[in-house]
Amino acid sequence: MFTRRALLGALTVLPLARALAAVPPPKAAILSAAQQAEVGQIETYLNGIHTLTSSFEQVSGEGSIATGKLYLSRPGRMRFEYDAPVPILLVADGLDIHYYDRELQQVSDMRIESTPAAFLLRDRIALSGGVTLTRYDHLSGVIRLTFVETSEPDQGSVTLTLTDHPLELRQWTVVDPQQKRITITLIDPHYGAPLDPRLFQWTDPRPSEMKH
């Protein structure tokens, strides 16, 4: 069973207390001219994603598996509905991410900016500047690129996996500061379809659910 920490790992690199010693800047991957061009194409592709609907499979580094449905509407909005027996709902409403545990009847909130979800949900996605690309691989029709926050490289990493023909986002992996790993794989994703704005409106569901 996924723990609360693992489920939040789908979106969140949980912060550690800041170390007293200065953190060295991240080491950027050395890219050829062709690879730099590919990264530019990926950046353009990611900025072209305005909506996404997909089933997903979430796997932790320990092998725990959860499934569900996700909805994304850029900028700023995302919804994860987990299948039973996982009693979790995650909603990003443009400002905050709301985490609801139906079993415990608990709600937790955090700012989107404090999570890797902020990268995919930004109005403008950039693969340089605020983030540093630390690894880039393009093998057998699959592209993987790993990046960290340039200012806080010790706070975890995100790896995106895309197919190359056609160029399409298929998976992402979040590694937190303790090296805990969560991988989200998209199953039958659909891009560009209009989504109901109410999917991303957060209303505390506890009062209505407690009546049943």
> What per-residue confidence (pLDDT) applies to 186?
96
Of the candidates 164, 156, 161, the one whose C-alpha atom is nearest the C-alpha of residue 186 is 161
- Three-state SS for 45? helix
Tokens for 141? 């029709």
Block mean pLDDT (10 aa), the chain, length 212? 49 42 80 95 95 95 92 95 93 92 89 75 88 94 93 86 94 87 94 95 76 54
At residue 199, φ and ψ (nearest 5 deg) are -60, -25
Q: What is the CATH number of domain 4-10+28-192?
A: 2.50.20.10
Report pLDDT digits (tens) over 75-115: 999 999 999 999 999 999 999 999 999 888 899 998 887 77
Strand partners, 187: 55
The pTM of the full predicted model, rounded to 2 decimals, is 0.84
Of the candidates 166, 165, 164, the one whose C-alpha atom is nearest the C-alpha of residue 136 is 164
